[in-house]
Structure 1
Amino acid sequence: MKKIAILRGINVGGKRKILMADLKALFEKTGLENIKTYIQSGNIIFNSNSNNFELEKILENSIRERFGFNVPVIVRNSDELQNSITHNPFYNKNADINKLHLTFLKEKPSKEYLDEIQSFNYEPDNFKIDGQNVFLFIDGKYHKTKLSNTFFEKKLKVGATTRNWKTVLKLIELSKD
Structure 2
Amino acid sequence: MCGESEGECVFFLRGVNLGARSRVSMPLLRELVASKFGLERVRTHLQSGNLLCTPPAGPQDFADGLTKLVREWFGVDSPVVYRTAADLRRAVEADPLADVVGDESFSHVMFFDRDVDSFDGRRFRDALKDGEDLAWAPRELYLWYGTPRGLHGSRITQAYAERHLGVTVTARNMRTLRKLATMLD
TM-score, length basis structure 2: 0.85
Which deviations, in whole Å up to 9, do the C-alpha atoms of 1:19-66 show, x marking residues without a partner?
111110121122233111111110111123532211111111222222
Any unmatched runs of 5+ in structure 2? 1-6
Q: Which amino acid letter does the alignment assign opposite residue 171 of structure 2?
A: T
1:58 — aligned with what?
A: 65
Any unmatched runs of 5+ in structure 1? none
After TM superposition, list the pairs within 5 Å mapping 1:1-177 onto structure 2: 1-28=7-34, 29-48=36-55, 50-92=57-99, 95-96=101-102, 97-111=104-118, 114=119, 116-121=120-125, 122=128, 123-140=130-147, 141-176=150-185
Q: Which amino acid letter does the alignment assign opposite residue 102 of structure 1?
A: V
Displacement, 1:85?
2.1
Displacement, 1:152?
0.4
Q: Which amino acid letter does the alignment assign opposite residue 122 of structure 2?
A: Q
Q: Which amino acid letter does the alignment assign opposite residue 35 of structure 1?
A: V
- Judge conservation of contact 1:117–1:155 (CA < 8 Å) in 2: no
Q: Which amino acid letter does the alignment assign opposite residue 144 of structure 2?
A: F
Q: Secondary structure of the equivalent of 1:151?
A: helix
Displacement, 1:135?
0.8
- Judge conservation of contact 2:117–2:138 (CA < 8 Å) in 1: no
2:3 — aligned with what?
A: none
Displacement, 1:120?
2.9
Task: List 4+ stretches of structure 1 deviating above 6 A.
Answer: none
Measured at CA, do residues 125 and 95 of structure 1 come closer, stay the same or move farther in structure 2, by a change above 3 Å? closer
- Judge conservation of contact 1:110–1:156 (CA < 8 Å) in 2: no
**Percent of pairs identical after alignment?**
24
- Measured in 2, the distance between the counterparts of 1:37 and 1:130 equals 26
- Judge conservation of contact 1:33–1:47 (CA < 8 Å) in 2: no
Question: When the two structures are aligned, how many residues end up with a matched partner?
Answer: 172
The two structures, once aligned, show a CA RMSD in angstroms of 1.7
Displacement, 1:107?
1.3
- Judge conservation of contact 1:100–1:135 (CA < 8 Å) in 2: yes
Measured at CA, do residues 98 and 62 of structure 1 come closer, stay the same or move farther in structure 2, by a change above 3 Å? closer
TM-score, length basis structure 1: 0.89
Displacement, 1:14?
1.6
- Measured in 1, the distance between the counterparts of 2:105 and 2:24 equals 27
Displacement, 1:137?
1.1
Q: Which amino acid letter does the alignment assign opposite residue 119 of structure 1?
A: R
